[in-house]
Amino acid sequence: MWSLKRAKKAFFSIFFIAAVIVIVLIIVFFLPYHHASGKGVVITVDRGSSASQIYDQLGSQRLVSNKLLFKIAARIFGIDRRIRAGKYLFVGNYSDYNVLRLLSTGKSNLLVQVTIPEGLTIRQIAAIMDREVGVDSTEFVDIAMKDSLSHALGLPSKNLEGFAFPETYEFYYGTDPREILERMVDEFKLFFNDSLKNRLEKLHVSLLEVVTIASIVEAEAKVDSERAIIASVYYNRLRKGMPLEADPTIEYALGQHRRIYYKDLHIRSPYNTYKKIGLPPTPICNPGRKSILAALYPAETNYLYFVATGSGGHRFSRTFAQHLRAVRAYRKEVFGR
């Protein structure tokens, strides 16, 4: 009888201790521990970071109550194998469980504002998205330059070059590249409303042609007041069956923005508008509103040529003889000869 009472007492003692431990763990693990005031705390999990490095970072920011207990819980739930690279924002009250749950989703809750300037190529946009939003730039370019997505989005081009609309966006850090590209194309479609679509019919040009001309205008224009005039030059040359001879298309064919040399004009590429009559097969960058409107509403001119003045603008000419004089004036101004 005495042994039975002793056994019961030991059992209840163990049960009581276990219950206390469970309650303590529940309090420690599930009740909010950290209050991230103000703008909160941002935790960056870099690619290749070990679980220990992540725990150290959480501990140094006091986002977990006990680093060892957190590590054990992460191991038990298998979350230590599911944490993905990204940036995570912690605002307000957070428990260890909240922290584990957020990290296990692999989806950042940090909203990032990113501005895409006019005139960038898809590759240049990819570099910005890699730096600011944490996407893989190679994957971004690969998705954008395949015809499957452009066709799925109803675009008249074999890739998204020209249709990734320059704008200031907000994306969650680590947003899927396809989702980002779809959002940028949606912005283009919102801008290109029914009124602008009707303008295409009056000009007797296609959407792809207008965006392609706009992309060349974007790359050439340095002064807003010249955009419509530059567009008129290209329309005039197209009507006369003359090659566009646009240096930015050569840069696009070369894959780099640099000074163009005479030897570059012989590059074999469908984007070489010195050799190929007509427009290049796709836009050469992603133009903004002003250049698209310039391509839709070109100035009425007889200009067929233009050359830089050396001070930001261009000198426009109707004849080749006038153009040669303008070129000589440019060389004298810039090179002193």
Decide which of 325 and 311 is more confident: 325
In the chain, what percentage of residues exceed pLDDT 90?
58
User: 252-266 pLDDT, tens per residue?
Assistant: 999 988 888 889 999
2 has a pLDDT exceeding 60: no
Tell me the helix, strand and coil percentages in the chain, rounded to 5: 55, 10, 35
Domain boundaries, the chain: 22-105, 111-191, 204-303
Residues 68, 29: contact at Cβ < 8 Å?
Answer: no
The whole-angstrom separation of Cα 117 and Cα 288 is 8
Q: What's the average model confidence in pLDDT over 202-228?
A: 96
Q: Structure tokens of 322? A: 């006038």
Residues 291, 223: contact at Cβ < 8 Å?
Answer: no
Largest interatomic CA distance in the chain: 122
The confidence score (pLDDT) of residue 331 equals 82
Nearest CA to 119 out of 228, 21, 211, 181 is that of 211
Q: What's the average model confidence in pLDDT over 73-96?
A: 76
The CATH number fitting domain 22-105, selected from 3.90.1150.10, 3.40.50.11540, 3.30.1490.480, 3.40.50.1820: 3.30.1490.480
Confidence of residue 33 (pLDDT cuts 50, 70, 90): low
The confidence score (pLDDT) of residue 204 equals 94
The confidence score (pLDDT) of residue 127 equals 97
Strand partners, 306: 316
The confidence score (pLDDT) of residue 318 equals 96
Note the pTM of the prediction, 2 decimals: 0.83
> Which residue type, as a one-letter code, is found at position 53?
Q
What is the DSSP annotation of 285-307?
Answer: SB--HHHHHHHHS-------EEE
How far are the Cα atoms of 87, 88, 192 from residue 83, in angstroms, in the given order? 11, 11, 41
Cα 227 → chain centroid:
25
93 has a pLDDT exceeding 80: no
The whole-angstrom separation of Cα 182 and Cα 192 is 15
Strand 34-45 vs strand 86-94: parallel, antiparallel, or unpaired? antiparallel
Mutual angle of helices 194-203 and 207-220, in 10-degree steps: 90
- The class that CATH gives domain 111-191 is alpha beta
Residues 230, 220: contact at Cβ < 8 Å?
Answer: yes
Domains 22-105 and 111-191 share a fold: yes
Poorest-pLDDT segment among 87-101, 102-116, 235-249, 261-275:
87-101
The confidence score (pLDDT) of residue 40 equals 76
The confidence score (pLDDT) of residue 22 equals 56
The confidence score (pLDDT) of residue 98 equals 77
Q: CB under 8 Å, gap of 24 or more: what pairs does 78-84 form?
A: 79/103, 79/104, 80/51, 82/106, 83/45, 83/51, 83/54, 84/45, 84/174
114 has a pLDDT exceeding 80: yes
